[in-house]
Structure 1
Amino acid sequence: MSKQLPTVGILYPGYSAEDDFPRFESLLDNEIALPVQHTLMNEDAHRLDALLDWGRPETLSAGAAALQTVSPDAVMWACTSGSFAYGWDGAHDQAAQLAESAGVPASSTSLAFVDALRSLRIRKVAIAATYPADVAALFEQFLAAADIEVIRVSSHEIFTAAEVGTLSRERLLDIAQSGDDAFADAILLPDTAFHTAGHLEALETQVGKPVLTANQVTVWQALRLARTSTRRDGLGSLFRA
């Protein structure tokens, strides 16, 4: 009997860039399954009360229950703002509660960013956020709690995930380039609503340093939770580390 393909369920709020995950499956030579389960998004708004609503325990538990049909080896909450909005301790509690609900290891995109930076031994970063400034500041505070120094934060004041999902490759490259800082060792693009799967090498070539995107670190963490090698070519510095 052949071994079952490693499977990590992706809990994704609403609809914007969820098609990045099947793209990542292809880029990973279909060696892992990343089935997407959409979770309840009562309001598509990059605003604190809405973000907290996206990440409620009962919402994630319902998503985990729906994923049981694919028997996942692990679960990722693929929402940066819906995890860092809870703060450092709250994001860990959120992941622990999700793991308990799912019955398998679980993490979130915010926690994946920190693990990825630690893996690369990077301590100084620039944040190039699509979010409004007040939401981007919450991510800065989250990283500070992990002893990561944020050299610069740029914000593009985009209020909905749906709009971020429509942004072009050219806009993606421009946001990364304009958000750079000479003293930052990496640039972070924290929104899982941003399509980045096919553009990781182009991003790093343009800015000349590691660029970590939300969906990239989510998939990297998924591989780790599934105890699968993360070393791959063509997916940026993180996957070459």
Structure 2
Amino acid sequence: MTALGFLHPGDAPADDYPRIEQLLGSDIRLDVVPTDLTDLTELEPGDRLAATAERLRLTGAEAVVWTGPAPADPGAARAQVRTLALAAGMPASATPLAFVNAAKELGATRVAVVATGPDPDTARFTDFLTAAGLRITRVATGTPDADLRALAAEALTPDAQALLLPDPALQTAAHIDALEARLARPVLTTSQTTVWEALRLTDRRVNSPGLGHLFTREPIVQV
């Protein structure tokens, strides 16, 4: 059994994680731990982080990913994730870093973005991607209840190598396959990339076609 922890600011989300857990198989458990920490910049050594880390350890997690927003600077995000890893006593990462790592896994350097969250969150996310070396070809904006297929088609450009949907409020796990087939591009979403990142931290590679190209990519063998 591989147990993965997800540190979520605010109340535990009613989102894709149970569905993804079913798609991954019976030997992987996903535990979402709500925290009153609201931003990655709050991950400083102290009582609040220590209490949160203890809750993570009680789940039996082998790795943890922070699911909230990150600073615009990837270097600062990595430094704060190291603080989380030391406090929790396990490998750690953050969802914005997961998007960057997943794009690199797919060989995508040019990405389109569907933005359905607040404008400041979108700006910070795209700044983060740009600082990490990705080029944003287009951003399509809408609301969480908008037609994802229409927004995805609006965002996609001929040179985009992947489509990113960073809003954690979107229920995407059931739609990744259909979107990829429609767009002929890999699709990366918050819950999907976050879980993939946690698995990467534990050196687990799971083939799950229902979660899109990211979960069916064969590892690169060094000869």
TM category, shorter: 0.7 to 0.9
Alpha-carbon offset, residue 30 of structure 1: 2.2
CA contact (8 A) 2:54 2:88 kept: yes
| Amino acid paired to 1:116 | A
Q: Displacement of 1:68 after TM fit?
A: 1.7
2:39 corresponds in structure 1 to: 54
List alignment gaps of at least 5 residues for structure 1.
Answer: 42-52, 159-163
Aligned residues: 213
1:152 alignment partner AA = R
Q: What residue in structure 1 maps to residue 101 of structure 2? A: 115
Assess if the C-alpha contact under 8 Å between 1:39 and 1:60 holds in 2: no
Contact 1:12 1:18 in 2 (8 A): no
1:198 correspondence with 2:146: no
- CA RMSD in angstroms comes to 2.0
Q: Aligned-pair distance for 1:154?
A: 2.2
Give the deviation of 1:183 after TM superposition: 1.8
For 2:214, give the aligned amino acid: L
Instruction: Choose 209-218 or 223-232, whichever is displaced more.
Output: 223-232
Q: How does 1:168-187 map to 2 (within 5 A)?
A: 171-187=147-163
Please, which moves more after superposition, 192-201 or 172-181? Answer: 172-181
Distance 2:114 2:4 in 1: 27
Select the residue among 24, 46, 57 that pairs with 1:28: 24
Residue from 176, 187, 190 that aligns with 1:214 = 190
Query: Where does structure 1 differ by over 6 angstroms across 4 or more consecutive aligned residues?
Result: none
What is the CA deviation profile of residues 3-45 of structure 1, one whole-angstrom value per residue up to 9, with x for unaligned ones?
Answer: xx1111111123474431111110011221111111226xxxx
Partner of 1:228: 204
TM-score by length of 2: 0.87
% of aligned pairs identical? 39
Residue 128 (structure 2) pairs with residue 152 (structure 1): no
Q: Counterparts of 2:186 and 2:208 in 1: how far apart (Å)?
A: 15
- Cα distance between partner residues in 2 of 1:115 and 1:224: 10
Please list every run of 5 or more consecutive structure 2 residues that lacks an aligned counterpart in the other structure.
Answer: 218-223
1:139 aligned to 117, 125, 143, which one? 125
Of 196, 215, 218, 1:239 maps to: 215
Does the CA-based 8 Å contact 2:15-2:169 persist in structure 1?
no
- Among 50, 53, 57, which residue is 1:68 paired with? 57
How far apart are the structure 1 equivalents of 2:12 and 2:3?
Answer: 22
> Could you tell me which of 1, 7, 12 is aligned with 2:3?
7
1:140 is displaced (CA, Å) by 1.7
